[in-house]
Structure 1
């Protein structure tokens, strides 16, 4: 297996600067070497060119109505990332996108779903199911899953909507922060969501095993989205939107080991590593370790 590393150093979707340095921090922490310990070849194609947010107007005319900052810039980056992901898969390699903020998942998902039916597992503290109409903040990193599912104004946005991703194959794992509109959507839709309470009650193994079955049922592969704020802030301090009560170091590794054992992963991204908030590049290092586990690294 060859893993193609694609950097998308954007902070358009976040409200705290610094997450655009995430790809560099993850590489510096030894991503390629960690992947090689998992028995896969790593090919790094560098970063997409992303103009600095400070050079753009977050409130400029946007391609949709509603409240969404830097949506035009986000659509440009995600469209180019989508092309890279689709080309990677067409050439028989596995795309691993490095964020940047979680808005890059729009590009990962649309690229992965271009020529295949896919499911997704969303390892995240947040639901990311807001739209420009429902968002309380305007930050697009809270909208990527809504965009890919075609919710609200995203239904007609070709750059964002992934028609080959269905609700019944969409699973959120480790949820512990959701806005009211997101909670209502989850209750009324076919999206499956496991909260941290589910993990506390049942354990990480049965939850992730069920998630993998649900996400992979009847599709060609699964996109794995790993937001580092899925982990407890004590484990991963370098994230922009930390929420107390996340998974532990060992639970996160075991979850990724289960992903590898299932052998259904089609594409993956690591997002929301912010080195300006980190301690000794600890969160970036953790991202590299979890990626290696997802691609098959084990103790023995």
Structure 2
């Protein structure tokens, strides 16, 4: 991100008309709740964000498929309850092709038409070596191709502005992305990033490598700096020192932490819009206030029609 002060944000966005801002495509990512209390918060968050007319909302799939049943149930309920299109995450970790294909057919039978297809992390967690099932899909590209044989799904895949931690080099990184797109993916959604130059550099490299599919900016609002910094480190995303300094000493000051988080996220997304980015995927952590505020900042209003 640039050093432009956050106070300039309204002026920067004022150059975009409400009609232009309404054309931005937003999507929101959730994780399946584990308890009744968490499920209540999930629906509260979704009910707050659904009126913003996202392109879709997605529900994650736990390491090794540990949340498979909950993911299917939540996704199948979302469209019925809110009218918003929903995407189910799917990985190929710890399962044979037949088992994964059964899940895909279950999605199809449940009326789910969107899938976020990921190779996935092993049950041991993010950053651990991937070991394909002896009879399973060996990569996300193979998974996408397999999904395509079962139904006409809208498929999103992941991409990594700072390179996947297990990619040996950038050539391998973009060859893998190309395979996923060529197999039938409609778009790639980036891993979280906090330096916009990394995103723009990645998009330029992808285009030079022959990737023409949309590369959606994946935005992680910093609801909890310690938690996000830990996860970012495991998945290979760096946090600039100037961001870390803004959160320093705020562990026991949630109100100031929330204000700083809003300022940091607002600065990031407004700069992206200012430079022509039109598609955003927000990692909500099942919390609505900061994501809702960012969507409003981007011009999305509940009353705006997407038709």
Q: TM-score, normalised by structure 2?
A: 0.41
Which structure: greater helix fraction? 2
Q: TM-score, normalised by structure 1?
A: 0.41
Q: Which one has the largest radius of gyration?
A: 2
